[in-house]
Amino acid sequence: MKTKKHWIPWMILIGVFAVLYGGLQMLIPAHIGRTLDQSNQQVIEKAIVLLLLFYLGIWMSETIANTALAKLASQEAYRLRERIEHKIQYVRCSYLDHHTLGDVLNTINTDVENVARGITQTVFKVLSGITTILGATILMWQINVTLAILLIASAPCMYLISKKITTKTNQFFQKRASKISQISEYADEMIAGYQMVKNNAYEEKALHQFDQYNDQLYQVSFKAQFYSALSNPGARLVTNLAYVILGIVGTILLQKQMLTIGDMSTFLIYVSVYTKPFHEITSLITEMQMAYVSYKRIRTFEKETEEPIENLPEPVPILQGDIQFKQVNFSYEKGKPIIQNFNLIIPEKKKIAIVGKTGSGKTTLASLLLRFYPIETGKITIGGQDIQQIPLGILRKNIGIVLQDTHLFAGTIRENIVYGKEDVTEEEFQKIVQLTQLDSFVKHLEKDYDTVVSQDNLLSEGEVQLINIARILLVKPPYVILDEATSNIDLLTEEKVQKAMEQITQNSTAIVIAHRLSTIQTADQVIYLEQGHLVEQGTHQALLEKRGRYAKLYESQYGIE
């Protein structure tokens, strides 16, 4: 990853041509003034040639500097996206759980573009503007001290106006960024769930909600743009008043022969040159504010805590032994415990089913085992080793997980199946697709397993889940977590997949999280959770005979009275 040093050569190049640009701007008024005071045919001819050279130099300086700026801005946008993507891959799950998709996408897209645009729009003008202001100040001072002091006195007024407006616009641009994230997230939800929207005839309500978000964005954007737009006219008003005062004082000095026509003309040109950078910079307030707010958002995101990054040994060590939860406590929000004083031993190569009502903490246990979240107190061990002491990459390589939410990556069906284990033989591949009955629908696709798919096309949720199950079966990890893994598969397919799962998990420690109790009857132990507490434990049959909470859940699910 590049460091800030990559800026140095570009900034030197831009700085050199910005100074050259500003310097040439300074020479033109002085040259015109001398020409007016010493006007003759020969002087005029030389003046025209020199002016042409000056303007050619100005054009070249601006072109080279802006080209370098475009290159720098593109590199910086590339670097920022690289850093943000790195952060997304390694940031703790808690951040992604508490921030919307629209917010994250806004950071990697809109915020990066705002920073890049801010660089291209402002850097050259600020550098050349500083050169111009300093040069003009020195030259005007040499022409007439009185007029120079009067003009310089107007600068603080322009600065105060800009500062006042900038403070106000900064507040609104921060709110604007937040509203953009909100409306992006809502639009994404409506597009992703369009079938649900149409099925419930929710179009009008969805439009009404969108209009509310859009109106809020409009109000904030209007105020941000309005206050930003005041900056340039305010600076110009000060400049125009300065022109009037300088004109009056200059006329008096001419009458007293304390100033020549050429000097007066040169000075008035310098007034325009001197104030131009103020006008340009104040006109860029919007771009500067957007870039500043976006960069702050990016930096805030970059400061989020990352998971540790380790170099994995080859081959990855295989973990062995029982899984044990010892006095584990955890809460997503302080003061709202999810898992409380939890103790459990999961024997090696046994199948444990975890059941309970929604919100009882079933999926949370799996997340804690995978270290998606740090436990507050207690300990989780595998083979007697604290999982906090196991390198994170090794831990997760040893634990396979199939989630309730189906997901595909853009690519072929084959690429999705071998994701995470690319060194797969054709024999292994064929064995897995037969076990998961993938041929039943893949053979009907145009390019078989080389058909390109994504999360949003071609396949049903059940078919996508079959691919996810095939992926984890292919890896054959020693520990497997199935979090509602068959929830989107029809009963006939589920029966076939269950048989395949039992074959593969014969040599694995399996944790099955399920609402559909028909899928866990062969488990060695069933754990019933309630509000983060283990309240019942035993085989399926033993818990039915106990007539406790598990039995009631089973009876309610199958309509037994």
Instruction: Give 263-308 pLDDT, tens digit per residue.
Output: 777 777 777 777 777 767 766 766 777 788 888 888 888 888 888 7
**Is 309 within the bounds of a domain?**
no
pLDDT score, position 327: 93
The answer to whether 386 touches 379, Cβ cutoff 8 Å, is yes
| Chain centroid to CA 14 | 29
Inter-CA distances, 514 with 137, 219, 480, 511, Å: 77, 47, 14, 10
The Cα–Cα gap between 216 and 210 comes to: 10
Confidence of residue 385 (pLDDT cuts 50, 70, 90): very high
**Is 312 within the bounds of a domain?**
no
338 and 480 both lie in a single domain: yes
What CATH number should be reported for the domain holding residue 408? 3.40.50.300
pTM reported for the whole predicted model: 0.66
32 and 128 both lie in a single domain: yes
**Helical packing angle, 7-37 and 261-283, nearest 10°:** 150
pLDDT score, position 199: 59
**Is 308 within the bounds of a domain?**
no
Q: Give the residue numbers spanning the domain of 523.
A: 323-558
297 and 376 both lie in a single domain: no
383 and 263 both lie in a single domain: no
Q: Which of 272, 302, 332 is the last residue of a domain?
A: 302
327 and 298 both lie in a single domain: no
The answer to whether 281 touches 126, Cβ cutoff 8 Å, is yes
452 and 532 both lie in a single domain: yes
**Is 99 within the bounds of a domain?**
yes
**Is 310 within the bounds of a domain?**
no
38 and 164 both lie in a single domain: yes
Instruction: Give 323-368 pLDDT, tens digit per residue.
Output: 999 999 999 888 788 898 899 999 999 989 999 888 888 888 988 9
Residue 1 in this model has a pLDDT that exceeds 50: no
Number of separate domains in the chain: 2
266 and 368 both lie in a single domain: no
Q: Which of 267, 302, 337 is the last residue of a domain?
A: 302
What CATH number should be reported for the domain holding residue 119? 1.20.1560.10
The answer to whether 377 touches 355, Cβ cutoff 8 Å, is no
Instruction: Give 314-329 pLDDT, tens digit per residue.
Output: 778 899 999 999 999 9
280 and 399 both lie in a single domain: no
Which of 401, 346, 380 lies closest to 525, judged by CA? Answer: 346
pLDDT score, position 368: 92
Q: Which of 236, 267, 302 is the last residue of a domain?
A: 302
The Cα–Cα gap between 340 and 163 comes to: 53
103 and 243 both lie in a single domain: yes
pLDDT score, position 455: 59
